[in-house]
Amino acid sequence: MRERLQLLAHLPSQTADGRTVQLAANISSVKELDLVFKNNASGVGLFRTEFLYMDRSTFPEEEEQFAVYREVAEQLQGKRAVIRTLDIGGDKPLDYLELPEEDNPSLGYRAIRVMLDRKDLFKTQLRAILRASHYGNVRIMYPMIASLDELRKANEMLEEAKSELRTEGIPFREEIEVGIMIELPAAVMISDSLAREVDFFSIGTNDLVQYVLAVDRMNETVAHLYDPFHPAILQMLRITVDSARRHGTHVSVCGEMAGDIRALPLWIALDVSELSMSVQSILRVKNSLLQTRHSDGPKILGDLVRCTTSKEMMDALNPYVHTDL
């Protein structure tokens, strides 16, 4: 099976009727790049940088981060590398960063909320990413954005980092693209405003499902309620994609749903042209994509919007799910 899937790696990544859907990889270390190339991913749609900060006792310095981001940028040789700024807290704690004890860490002090307070950490990381942008097709992505205010504050720090590098004569890509994760219901609801101020959205379905359904993604007691096919999720996705389209903002998806072949017809229905997933999922999704028809999109969407339960959603998607090799 694996060998047969491997034969697909070098086929164009498109539907049976010729619509390109880029299949990118989510990675958290340089080591995973081997599989990115082996499976011929279109690039890295999500580099989870928190793993650079884990399993150690101090924060990584700018030089160390720069070396890693530069290596990713160079190895990708012009393919996209979307580097996400630190997303700690919640399900990703750091031993050496004391965060307050929280009853509800998922709703607490995490990700961009910490970075906007810890200018020292944020600026170090932004400088490292900017410097790497000189060596490849690097983009910056902020996680957990809930408001325009947060986005603008993050961008102010980015401008400060740029201005420092300019003064120091250190090269970086001036026009580096900046995007945000859409993973909070608030971000979905103001996606029209956010889309005016960013170059791209990446939909983080893992957290989006958690927050829309109020189901802690780490809590096994309620795991059966964690349902990406709940009709409320479809509504959230539609709002996001429509907002992005109105403003010409690129949209990709980087949560687990991107690599779930049961959801592929949904992405075709929404006309999403980039999915970023774990490297292990790429060829399975590609196999399914090659047998899916882009021209079925409007019919699938029409069926989905009439669904009122998750079961109806799955039943509507099922005829379009291809698993045969």
Binding residues for ligand PEP (CB under 6 A): 46, 48, 87, 183, 204-207, 254-255
Give the whole-angstrom CA distance, residue 20 versus residue 13.
6
From Mg ion, ligand PEP, none, which one binds at residue 48 (CB under 5 to 8 Å depending on kind)?
Answer: ligand PEP
Contact between 136 and Mg ion (CB under 5 A)? no
Question: Do the Cβ atoms of 255 and 208 come closer than 8 Å?
Answer: yes
**Nearest distance in Å: CB 143, ligand PEP:** 7
By C-beta, is 76 or 258 nearer to ligand PEP?
258
By C-beta, is 10 or 31 nearer to ligand PEP?
31
The residues, any chain, with a CB within 8 Å of residue 197's CB and separated by 6 or more, are: 148, 151, 152, 155
By CB under 5 A, the residues from 187 to 226 that bind Mg ion are 204, 207
**Nearest distance in Å: CB 139, Mg ion:** 17
Give the whole-angstrom CA distance, residue 179 versus residue 55.
28
Exposure class string for 221-251: b at 16+ Cβ within 10 A, else e? eeeeebbbbbbebbebbbbbbebbeeeebbb
Question: Do the Cβ atoms of 123 and 159 come closer than 8 Å?
Answer: no
Handedness of CA 105, 185, 227, 250 (dihedral sign): negative
By C-beta, is 8 or 145 nearer to ligand PEP?
145
By C-beta, is 235 or 309 nearer to ligand PEP?
235
Point out which span in 158-166, 178-186, 230-238, 275-283 binds Mg ion (CB under 5 A). 178-186
Q: Which residues bind Mg ion (CB under 5 A)?
A: 183, 204, 207
